[in-house]
Amino acid sequence: MSMKSLLPTVMVFGGNGFLGSKIVTEFLNTNRYNVIVASRSLAGKQHSLSHSPFLQYKSVDIFNPATYKSILTNVDHVVHSIGIINPNENYKKIINSKTPCQFANGLMDYFFKSTTKNTSAVDKNVNQYELYNYQSCKILADVFKDVIKSSNTNTSTHKRSFTYISAEETPLVKNFISADYITTKRKAELHVLQYEDYFTPIILRPGFMYDENSTDTTPRSAIACILNNSNIIKNKSFTCSIQSVSKEVVRKIEDPKFQEGGIITLADIKRDFI
Ligand SMILES: NC(=O)c1ccc[n+]([C@@H]2O[C@H](COP(=O)([O-])OP(=O)(O)OC[C@H]3O[C@@H](n4cnc5c(N)ncnc54)[C@H](OP(=O)(O)O)[C@@H]3O)[C@@H](O)[C@H]2O)c1
């Protein structure tokens, strides 16, 4: 048996997203896991460790379990890092723009181009927060629970786990984001927490996230800088880095005292890593 097959396997849904790609790197850096990146399109961010023999890419549609159910049979830890803060995905072009030209194009797309998401097996009329923040998590957690339930092999020495990336209701969220954002996040949390008998439910509630290693000047880095340094909101916890959230995911999965799972708030993340 190869060394690779002895290691536990983590499958990160949304593993090429802003946070997901950092979570993948964090697991790979431990040298203790096989990692599967699962996302809709495999285009986009390439991982710095994409050459690693411990890394695989799978193209999946989270709303269509046929695209990943068989893979879950051999998965020990699932991470769900898919969700929306705004139903118009073009907001990401604005917030991540590196030049005034990209910013202007992002604004044009936001106001004049509709975003049609490439998803199957779902009712397109359903509220997008409900779909991406709640339904996507519900579908994945249900399938993982069923796979564990019907699994005859009891060879795993560790309890399996399911990590859901939720969100903290900071004043920023309360004042500027639709209430559906947090409502659907909380609904998903409750759904995952009920499966404690099957896997360790791990819920993380980050605030506004930034990349602490990025040297790019973008609206995202500017907002993070203002929130971190402004005198008016000093000592108020609104932000955290993708590095601290990723480290917390690995830490909680490996923590023997966290086998029953639970909710990790933004304050917990900051206490542990900042
Ligand atoms: N960003 C923040 O400041 C922030 C703050 C608090 C909480 N959060 C939460 O953190 C999580 C991750 O956020 P993020 O900013 O990293 O998101 P992101 O960059 O938009 O990444 C989303 C990921 O989901 C994948 N995806 C979307 N639809 C899919 C589908 N139908 N099937 C499979 N994969 C699909 C995307 O894959 P493709 O690229 O291939 O389409 C991408 O990898 C979300 O739950 C978000 O609500 C974010």
Compute the distance from residue 246 Cα to the ligand 1 centre, in Å.
14
Average pLDDT, the chain: 88
Residue 43: pLDDT over 70: no
Q: Does domain 3-87+119-209+241-273 bear CATH number 3.40.50.300?
A: no
The CA distance from 272 to 28, in Å, is 21
Least confident of 1-5, 165-169, 261-265: 1-5
Q: Nearest residue CA, atom 45 of ligand 1?
A: 83
Give residue-wise pLDDT tens across range 195-231: 999 999 999 999 999 999 888 888 888 888 877 776 6
**Quick count: other Cβ atoms within 10 Å of Cβ 68?**
22
Least confident of 1-5, 88-92, 136-140, 141-145: 1-5
pLDDT category at 234 given cuts 50, 70, 90 is low
User: Which of 18, 180, 202 is the best mutation target for the ligand 1 pocket, counting ligand atoms within 8 Å of the beta carbon and taking the most?
Assistant: 18
Decide: 29 in ligand 1 pocket, CB within 6 A.
Answer: no
pLDDT category at 76 given cuts 50, 70, 90 is very high
Domain locations in the chain as residue ranges? 3-87+119-209+241-273
Rounded mean pLDDT of 267-271?
90
Decide: 57 in ligand 1 pocket, CB within 6 A.
Answer: no
pLDDT value of residue 102: 85
Decide: 167 in ligand 1 pocket, CB within 6 A.
Answer: yes
